[in-house]
Amino acid sequence: MQKSDGMNYAPEGKPQPVCKPGQFTFAAIALDHGHIYGMCNGLTRAGATLKWVYDPDPAKVAAFLAKFPQVRAAESESQVLEDPEVRLIAAAAVPSERCALGLRAMEHGKDYFTDKTPFTSLEQLAAAREMTSRTGLKYMVYYSERLHVESAVYAGRLIKEGAIGRVVQVIGTGPHRLNAPTRPDWFFRKENYGGILCDIGSHQIEQFLFFSGCKDAKVAQSKIANYKNKQFPELEDFGDATLIGDNGATNYFRVDWLTPDGLGTWGDGRTIILGTDGYIELRKYIDIARTKEGDHLFLVNHEGEKHFAVHGQIGYPFFGELILDCLNRTEIAMTQAHAFKAAELCLIAQRDAVRVE
């Protein structure tokens, strides 16, 4: 598992199949972001059968087949979309192209599972909302910094059990290492990546909604900047925002592309969740100067102080739940309203952000 580069970070986890081989078949289309590997790892370890891969770049396909040798390389996108065995399309396209691919997948009767950010414009979001409403198909999103992080999964369980009472604030930090020479050209074009709050900010907003139980929120303030990387004028290497949830909970988050080379992973992602009866801190990917292993959860409540090192202990239930949701037409893994609301709020935060220097 690559920990120095967030673009190629792909957690694997233990097999936890929820279906029999061949019962749930999916395909991978568009390999523009390395998150496709984490998405496919999650689904296959939950029992899904990965049948096809398609990308117009033969080098990307060859690399994918090296990881998933059982998969067949399709000659075209239509060959995949027209296969009646395929129930779901997993994709990590250029962000500005993710919605159009999702609409094509749903037009062919497939559920869709895209890397974050799912949209780069509110117009795209409106089109996806209309399509899901009309077809009943799913437009699910890989919000990996909660769904593919065991400490975050465990935090959700503790909150549900009442370990810290009512959640009143979530503070999130999402630093990332730029690794500019390894990035594709589209990464530096705002039209393609959508802006930093739209892109990696989507993780932060989604986890706030989930941990706080909010159905909606207002963006109170947001800021963006390019502090260090002036050679890439369309890149934003810093962003932050404050949100107020519909249940009174508040959120502050900061995201950036400023992780120093000396850190032992691609980003020191942290989350602090304050409740009326305690608080939780997550050190997701590293505990600096102590251990390079991630998934540390610190809990303080009326019973005392506790530290849980949960790496390899919890698993990633989202993927099995998603498979069962697709088979049973339920919404256990994530509701469509939640996936879209997180996307909407990050688009609004990006649209209304104040530029600072």
The DSSP string of 189-206 is -HHHH--TTTTTHHHHHH
Segment 314-325, tens digit of pLDDT: 999 999 999 999
What is the rounded distance in angstroms from the CA atom of residue 237 to the CA atom of residue 233? 10
Calculate Rg over the CA atoms of the chain. Answer: 19
pLDDT at 4 over 70: no
What percentage of residues in the chain have a pLDDT greater than 70?
97
Is pLDDT above 60 for 2? no
Burial 70-85 (b: 16+ CB within 10 A, else e): ebeebeebeebbebee
**Range 42-58 average pLDDT:** 98
User: Span 41-62, mean pLDDT?
Assistant: 98
pLDDT interval class at 295 (50, 70, 90): very high
Tell me what pLDDT residue 143 has.
98
Tokens of 272: 């602090």
Q: What pLDDT score was predicted for residue 9? A: 65
Mean pLDDT of 55-84: 98
Taking phi over 0 as left and psi of -120 to 50 as alpha, with beta for the rest, 295 belongs to left
H-helix or E-strand containing 321?
Answer: helix 317-328
pLDDT in tens, 5-24: 656 666 777 889 999 999 99
Q: How confident is the model at residue 3 (pLDDT cuts 50, 70, 90)?
A: low
53 exposure class (CB count in 10 Å sphere: 0-12, 13-18, 19+): buried
Q: pTM above 0.75? A: yes
Residue 90 has pLDDT above 80, yes or no: yes
> Per CATH, the architecture of 146-316+347-355 is what?
2-Layer Sandwich (3.30)
Measure the CA–CA gap between 196 and 236, rounded to whole angstroms: 6
Query: What is the pLDDT, as a whole number, of residue 7?
Result: 63
- Say what the pLDDT of residue 10 is: 66
Query: According to the model, what pLDDT value does residue 13 have?
Result: 73
| pLDDT tens digit sequence for 176-209 | 999 999 999 999 999 999 999 999 999 999 999 9
Give the pLDDT confidence score for residue 225 in this predicted structure.
98
Q: What pLDDT, on the 0 to 100 scale, is given for residue 6?
A: 58
- In the chain, where are the structural domains located? 146-316+347-355
Over residues 235-263, mean pLDDT: 98
Q: Does residue 285 carry a pLDDT above 70?
A: yes
Q: What is the pLDDT of residue 111?
A: 99
Question: What is the pLDDT of the chain when averaged over all its residues?
Answer: 96
Contact 351, 344 (CB under 8 A): no
